[in-house]
């Protein structure tokens, strides 16, 4: 495999799955016909059994080998994470972008994404469905317990001069409607476009 093949496989492993259009945007945006080139490479990687494909959808979904099941209920969730990545990448490529990172054992927060973007650390909750306020409060409570534990100060990404607790960013269904006041850390509820305005980023 060449360097681009390996980069595609690495992204499939990171995101769990990608559509053809995702691959074209992420890895072929610098060529004349991104979709055509993506199709050719994906077909070759499938033929060589380097990647797998679910063909029962209007848009084929590609997976690493081994990977999640082709009928996994979480496919839509992972594709939403890819979409979020593509949106923030247009503003600035994140220095770190981890999908479903582990923050500890039982009772610890389970963010969909940890990223370092625009020079700051973020825990991102990507909501495809609106939760009850009770469920969201339980999620935020986990972040507060993690904050109070101080365990986050030992993360390898932490700067040596000043320890930073990640901002919590709720995006998607229900964002803006949850009660998040009174926490010892910042919680944002906004779209990427809305966050760009908050941060004073020109389109």
Contacts 24+ apart (CB under 8 A), 161-169: 164/120, 164/121, 165/121, 166/114, 166/120, 166/121, 166/122, 166/123, 167/120, 167/121, 167/122, 167/123, 168/111, 168/122, 168/123, 168/125, 168/140, 168/143, 169/122, 169/123, 169/124, 169/125, 169/195
Same domain assignment for residues 64 and 134: no
Same domain assignment for residues 193 and 123: yes
Total domain count for the chain?
Answer: 2
Q: Whole domain around residue 153: which residue ranges?
A: 82-198
Same domain assignment for residues 29 and 58: yes
Same domain assignment for residues 93 and 50: no
pLDDT 10s digits, 81-128: 999 999 999 999 999 999 999 988 788 999 999 999 999 999 999 999
Same domain assignment for residues 110 and 193: yes
Same domain assignment for residues 147 and 64: no
Query: Looking at the domain assignment, is residue 203 inside a domain?
Result: no
Q: How much is the pLDDT for 150? A: 94
Same domain assignment for residues 52 and 124: no
Query: Looking at the domain assignment, is residue 77 inside a domain?
Result: no
pTM as predicted: 0.93
Query: Looking at the domain assignment, is residue 166 inside a domain?
Result: yes
CATH number at residue 15: 1.10.10.10
pLDDT 10s digits, 123-172: 999 999 998 989 999 999 999 999 999 999 999 999 988 999 999 999 99
């Amino acid at each position: 495999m060449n360097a681009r093949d390996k980069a595609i496989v690495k992204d499939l492993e990171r995101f769990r799955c990608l559509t053809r259009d995702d691959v074209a945007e992420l890895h072929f945006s610098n060529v004349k016909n991104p979709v055509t080139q993506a199709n050719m490479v994906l077909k070759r990687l499938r033929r060589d059994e380097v990647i797998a494909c679910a063909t029962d959808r209007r848009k084929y979904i590609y997976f690493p080998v081994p990977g999640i099941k082709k009928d996994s209920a979480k496919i839509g969730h992972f594709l939403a994470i890819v979409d979020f990545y593509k949106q923030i990448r247009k503003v600035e490529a994140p220095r770190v972008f981890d999908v479903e990172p582990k923050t500890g054992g039982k009772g610890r927060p389970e963010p969909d994404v940890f990223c370092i973007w625009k020079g700051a650390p973020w825990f991102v909750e990507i909501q495809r469905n609106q939760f009850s306020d009770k469920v969201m409060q339980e999620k935020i409570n986990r972040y507060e317990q993690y904050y109070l534990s101080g365990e986050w100060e030992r993360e390898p990404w932490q700067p040596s001069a000043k320890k930073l607790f990640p901002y919590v960013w709720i995006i998607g269904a229900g964002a803006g409607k949850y009660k998040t006041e009174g926490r010892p850390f910042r919680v944002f509820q906004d779209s990427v476009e809305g966050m760009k305005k908050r941060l004073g980023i020109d389109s």
